[in-house]
């Protein structure tokens, strides 16, 4: 799946997290320094593994260094709805407050490498009389707040997709969203990126059947809008896809 993901050095993989945090809000030198030990404590999780179950113990705060995961809920009869797709750079287990989305069950979709986020939490917790000083010197409250807002914003887009868009529009929208998110964690090479998702996962995310996802992707390919080979996707006509999906990238709210 991830080409030589396991071979990549930890520092190379943590770069993803740095870029992601930096995209939300510029990292200060002090913060960069605090992030140095990030790749030291990592954990590898097998595909299909449950990172967190609904109502169960929350996962420890961590970042995805590589691999994909999702948040999901199952209906009694086995139908599954995926709420969000988690890609490298995304955070998991930050329960700043027990917001419902972060208590939903989370599952690894591929092999996932997690980095513990302990180094970031130190400062946030010690919010004593020197709280503001701690902030200056490297706390990440604001970054995690923005990250939460981003995820919530994506969830709102998801509601619109599911409620008011056709399969064709939904699929285009999803691809644009992933393309945009991918651009947060690194330059996207020629509008191509890796999407190691089975059509079943895409179906459970977009509220469609597997077969119909297959046909919709084919249609997009046939029309020259996208290109797929293996788990690599290429968006050949961003402009038209954007029109089809009525896509508007998330706005990252800076603090007023």
Alpha carbon 121 to its chain's center: 20
217 binds DNA (CB under 7 A): yes
- Concatenated DSSP letters of 200-240: HHHHHHHT--HHHHHHHHHHHHHTTSEEEETTEEEES-HHH
183 binds DNA (CB under 7 A): no
81 binds DNA (CB under 7 A): no
Q: Which CB, 15 or 109, lies closer to DNA?
A: 109
Measured CA to CA, the distance from residue 47 to residue 197 in angstroms comes to 11
Measured CA to CA, the distance from residue 215 to residue 221 in angstroms comes to 10
Q: Could you tell which of DNA, a second copy, none binds residue 168, using a CB distance below 5 to 8 A set by kind?
A: DNA
Q: Could you tell which of a second copy, DNA, none binds residue 77, using a CB distance below 5 to 8 A set by kind?
A: a second copy
Instruction: For the chain, give the number of residues.
Output: 256
167 binds DNA (CB under 7 A): yes
Q: Which CB, 43 or 246, lies closer to a second copy?
A: 246
CB 99 within 8 A of CB 140: no
246 binds a second copy (CB under 8 A): yes
Please identify, among the stretches 130-138, 152-160, 187-195, 212-220, the one whose residues bind a second copy according to the rule CB under 8 A: 152-160
Q: Which CB, 159 or 239, lies closer to a second copy?
A: 159
- Concatenated DSSP letters of 106-154: EEESS-EEEEE-HHHHHHHH--STTHHHHHHHH--HHHHHHHHHHHHHH
Please identify, among the stretches 3-11, 85-93, 95-103, 193-201, the one whose residues bind a second copy according to the rule CB under 8 A: 95-103
80 binds a second copy (CB under 8 A): yes
Per-position x/- string for 198-227, each x denoting binding to a second copy as judged by CB under 8 A, each - no binding: --------xx--------------------
- Given candidates 22, 53, 137, 209, which one binds DNA under the rule CB under 7 A? 209
Measured CA to CA, the distance from residue 94 to residue 101 in angstroms comes to 11
């Amino acid at each position: 799946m991830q080409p030589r993901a396991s071979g990549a050095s930890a520092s190379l993989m943590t770069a993803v997290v740095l870029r992601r945090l930096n995209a939300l809000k510029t990292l200060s030198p002090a913060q960069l320094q605090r992030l140095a030990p990030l790749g030291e404590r990592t954990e590898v999780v097998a595909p299909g593994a449950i990172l967190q179950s609904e109502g169960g113990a929350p996962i420890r705060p961590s970042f995805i260094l590589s691999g994909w995961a999702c948040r999901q809920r199952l209906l009694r009869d086995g139908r599954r709805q995926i709420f969000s797709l988690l890609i490298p750079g995304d955070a998991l287990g930050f329960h700043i407050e027990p917001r419902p989305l972060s208590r939903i069950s989370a599952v690894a979709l591929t092999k996932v490498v997690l980095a513990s986020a302990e180094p970031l939490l130190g400062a946030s917790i010690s919010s004593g009389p020197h709280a503001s000083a701690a902030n200056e010197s490297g706390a990440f409250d604001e970054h995690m707040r923005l990250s939460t807002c981003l995820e919530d914003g994506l969830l709102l887009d998801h509601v619109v997709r599911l409620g008011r868009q056709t399969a064709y529009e939904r699929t285009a929208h999803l691809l644009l969203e992933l393309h945009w998110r991918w651009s947060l964690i690194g330059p996207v090479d020629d509008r191509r990126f890796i999407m190691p998702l089975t059509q079943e996962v895409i179906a459970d995310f977009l509220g469609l059947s597997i077969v119909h996802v297959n046909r919709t992707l084919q249609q997009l390919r046939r029309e020259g809008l996208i290109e797929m080979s293996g788990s690599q996707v290429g968006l050949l006509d961003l402009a038209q896809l954007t029109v089809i999906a009525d896509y508007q990238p998330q706005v990252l709210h800076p603090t007023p």
